[in-house]
Amino acid sequence: MSSRKNFSAKWTRKDLIGLKGLNSEDLNAIFKRAEKFQKNPASQNLKLKGELAALIFLEASTRTRMSFEVAVNRLGGHSLIFSAQASSLEKGETLLDTVKNLEALGVRFFIIRNGENGVIKSLSEKSPSSFINAGDGTNEHPTQALLDIFTLKKSKGKIKGLKVLIVGDILHSRVARSNILALKELGAAVFLCGPHEFLSDELRDLVAGISNNLNESLIDSDAVLCLRIQRERLKEELNFTARDYFQNFGLTEERVKKYAKPDCVILHPGPLNREVEISSELADGPRSLILRQVHNGVFIRMAVLSLIKESLISRKNHG
């Protein structure tokens, strides 16, 4: 049981707050478990039987929330959808008090999306329950990056040695941050491209290259992760239009075909803003892994939930 290949033996955390600090063996163990769930639905084993999982989404979501709900249900657990606007948060109750009250109802898993960086980590430090980050301000979105990389790995057969270009609003993107951390850990060369408003010096230090020129950045790319402009996080009006943006930073089949590797694939975490950051031709075309990402997200979330549950059992058995 001492092997690093056994994720549950080493994953002693009760939470998944971010990918920072996870090593390649931790990441590969999650992929291995997701692969098992994908290949053999009978391996699901109802790992969450009898468990209540609260889905607390304080920002909008379609894919992540639904995907976690499917994952919890496939593992035999019950998901409780917490509707913030119809909750006592509206009357001034704190999120910590909300968690404590849900714990009193028997909830032990909290899957949380929140607009403010660090809140999920802070809750996890004050509670014995398990917390899974489903989007933490501009900080991390770990399960999105895990499903992105899982999908890319299935498409390319490897991550090590790939040139992965992330294009768009990187500054405000928790998806980009989690992807950069994990892709680098797995040996990919990560490059960033976007207008200077969406880049920062801090990002420059994290990656192999950074540029404002999309055509040049695309050269030799094996994969491109396209990001939408996160208008909800902008503090100031942009000094370019959506049309200008598409002209300079929009991904199109023509552009990818001309500059990237012939078998370059396209990822996008969604939601798409068509003809702003990506053309419909590319998003719906043969290079696109976008709907495969969504499909794979369920297996990744099942893997994370089941591994956390196993680690809780292991922690309990070993005092």
Question: Where along the sequence are the contacts to ligand CP (CB under 6 A)?
Answer: 61-65, 135, 144, 269-271
In the complex, what is the shortest distance from the CB of residue 198 to ligand CP, in angstroms, rounded to a whole number?
17
Alpha helices in 219-289 (DSSP H): 242-249, 253-259, 280-283
In the complex, what is the shortest distance from the CB of residue 161 to ligand CP, in angstroms, rounded to a whole number?
26
In the complex, what is the shortest distance from the CB of residue 61 to ligand CP, in angstroms, rounded to a whole number?
3
Helices (H) and strands (E) in the chain, counts: 13, 9
Alpha helices in the chain (DSSP H): 7-10, 24-39, 63-74, 95-104, 119-125, 142-156, 174-185, 201-204, 214-218, 242-249, 253-259, 280-283, 290-317
Residues 174/138, Cβ–Cβ less than 8 Å = yes
Q: Given the complex with ligand CP, which of 63 and 156 has the nearer CB atom?
A: 63
Q: Given the complex with ligand CP, which of 61 and 122 has the nearer CB atom?
A: 61
In the complex, what is the shortest distance from the CB of residue 304 to ligand CP, in angstroms, rounded to a whole number?
15
In the complex, what is the shortest distance from the CB of residue 197 to ligand CP, in angstroms, rounded to a whole number?
22
Q: Given the complex with ligand CP, which of 108 and 141 has the nearer CB atom?
A: 141
Q: Given the complex with ligand CP, which of 64 and 288 has the nearer CB atom?
A: 64
Q: Given the complex with ligand CP, which of 138 and 211 has the nearer CB atom?
A: 138
In the complex, what is the shortest distance from the CB of residue 143 to ligand CP, in angstroms, rounded to a whole number?
9
CA distances for 306 relative to 76, 86, 301, angstroms:
11, 30, 8
Pick the closest to residue 110 from 49, 118, 125, 102 (CA basis): 102
Q: Given the complex with ligand CP, which of 142 and 195 has the nearer CB atom?
A: 142
From CA 278, how far away is CA 253, in angstroms rounded?
A: 9
From CA 129, how far away is CA 15, in angstroms rounded?
A: 8
Torsion of CA 147, 29, 55, 107, to 10 degrees: 170
Give the distance, in angstroms, between the CA of residue 55 and the centroid of all CA atoms in the same chain. Answer: 16
